[in-house]
Amino acid sequence: MISAKALEKLRSLKVKKVYLQIPEGLKTRALSIAASLEEKGFTVVLGLEPCFGACDLRDREAKQLGCDALLHIGHSDFGLGTSVPVVYDEWFSDFDPVRVLKKNLKKLDKYDFIGLASSVQYADALKKARDFLESKNKHVLAGKQGRLLLGQVLGCDYSNVALIEDRADCFIFIGSGSFHYSGLAARTAKPTFFIDAETDSFTLVHENRDTLEIKRRLRTEKAKDMRTFGIFVSTKPGQSGMEVAGGIRKALEKKNKQAFIISADMLTKEKIMGMGIEVLVNTACPRIYEDQGMLGALVLNPEDVKDI
Ligand code: SF4
């Protein structure tokens, strides 16, 4: 389960005690990964805090617990400076999208230039989809820039999509869950198809920029009538929005709103229950905005504040 490359890196760093960080989707394998590392001579501290990205490194905890390094499974380097060395071991699914594409090829008849995108786990699947579509005489586009893999998107970084959007007739996103494809559909006016690796389905995502803009306006209209705002700043190292929070507070106060900067590692309904916060302005992961139904408060993005 641990790649040879990651093991070699741990050994080259002369790591004895390692802090193991595993994303939510791979938690069922956590104990077997820990056991295999122990068998190879490492002492393992298995981190239990929920983890959804490499923006959420637990290097401070690793240091506090006397670990020589952090082994982060499942995500690629987010570019953060850290207090102990971090070894990234991306996890790639062996999902094959070709059988789904074969079944649904007719639906792509009217599109010649097809943009591909995936979450990191499906980077190999994206290449299989590219090869198949090219064999069917389609022009396949996939962006590649910075530390992102070919076609990779993060919920907070769709720059690979922006690179090819003008030339693509449609997009296909390969992954699981709704977070990434709905973010992609929100950023493009082009039809977006979703290959769901968990169900082998191929769906046209209907929610596009226009419907999302209408929903956004409804939220800002509602927020105009509300008075008590919490500006949420996460303590996760790659999500800190402290530098924008002060500006947001001033803007809200000018609109005669009561605004408080609130902070936690992760925001949950229980943490704000009973406080009387009516609107949350989220400076952290965009997933919070997507999950707003679970927070019991209206959630806005920082850029929405000007429209209140
Ligand atoms: S901030 Fe959110 S979307 Fe961005 S990498 Fe972290 S978990 Fe993913």
The residue whose CA is least distant from atom 2 of ligand 1 is 285
Please tell me the distance from the alpha carbon of residue 303 to that of residue 281, in angstroms, as a whole number: 9
Name the DSSP class of 267.
Answer: -
Give the SS3 label for residue 221. Answer: helix
Give the SS3 label for residue 178. Answer: coil
Total Cβ atoms within 10 A of residue 99: 11
The residue whose CA is least distant from atom 4 of ligand 1 is 156
Instruction: Give domain 98-207's CATH superfamily.
Output: Diphthamide synthesis DPH1/DPH2 domain 2 (3.40.50.11850)
* Amino acid 186: pLDDT: 83
Query: What's the gap in Å between 154 CA and the centre of ligand 1?
Result: 6
Name the phi and psi angles at 202, rounded to 5.
-135, 110
Digit-coded pLDDT (tens) for 77-122: 999 999 999 999 999 999 999 999 999 999 999 999 999 999 999 9
In 15-124, the DSSP E strands lie at: 17-21, 43-46, 69-73, 86-89, 113-118
Please tell me the distance from the alpha carbon of residue 45 to that of residue 180, in angstroms, as a whole number: 30
Counting ligand 1 atoms within 8 A of each CB, the residue from 285, 288, 290 with the most, and so the one to mutate, is 285
Domain boundaries, the chain: 4-89, 98-207, 216-307
| Cβ of residue 155 lying under 6 Å from some atom of ligand 1 | yes
- Which CATH architecture best describes the domain 216-307? 3-Layer(aba) Sandwich (3.40)
| Cβ of residue 291 lying under 6 Å from some atom of ligand 1 | no
Query: What's the gap in Å between 135 CA and the centre of ligand 1?
Result: 34
Closest CA to 72 of 123, 124, 3: 3
Per-residue confidence band for 240, with pLDDT thresholds at 50, 70 and 90: confident
| Cβ of residue 285 lying under 6 Å from some atom of ligand 1 | yes
Digit-coded pLDDT (tens) for 197-220: 999 999 998 666 777 788 889 999
Per-residue confidence band for 182, with pLDDT thresholds at 50, 70 and 90: confident
CB contact set of 132 (below 8 Å; sequence gap of 6+): 97, 98, 101, 102
CB contact set of 247 (below 8 Å; sequence gap of 6+): none
* Amino acid 208: pLDDT: 64
Residue 56 alpha carbon, nearest atom of ligand 1: 6
- Give the pairing type, strands 86-89 and 43-46: unpaired
CATH classification code of 4-89: 3.40.50.11840
Which residue is it, tokens 């617990």?
65
Closest CA to 260 of 270, 272, 269: 272
Token readout for 86 is 């971090």
pLDDT average, residue stretch 282-287:
93
Closest CA to 104 of 53, 163, 172, 42: 172
| Cβ of residue 287 lying under 6 Å from some atom of ligand 1 | yes
* Amino acid 15: pLDDT: 98
Element (H, E) at 288: helix 287-290
Q: Where are the alpha helices (DSSP H) in 49-91?
A: 59-64
291 CB-contact burial (10 Å; exposed 0-12 / middle 13-18 / buried 19+): middle
* Number of Cα atoms under 13 Å in the Cβ half of residue 277: 26
Check: CB of residue 7 under 8 Å from CB of residue 72: no
**What is the pTM assigned to this prediction?**
0.88
Is there a shared CATH topology between the 4-89 domain and the 98-207 domain? yes
| Cβ of residue 55 lying under 6 Å from some atom of ligand 1 | yes
Which residue is it, tokens 């390692």?
18
Digit-coded pLDDT (tens) for 111-154: 999 999 999 999 999 999 999 999 999 999 999 999 999 999 99
Counting ligand 1 atoms within 8 A of each CB, the residue from 56, 149, 182 with the most, and so the one to mutate, is 56
Closest CA to 232 of 294, 282, 278, 293: 282
Instruction: Give the CA angle between residues 208, 174, 99 to the nearest 5°.
Output: 120
Which residue is it, tokens 């408060």?
297
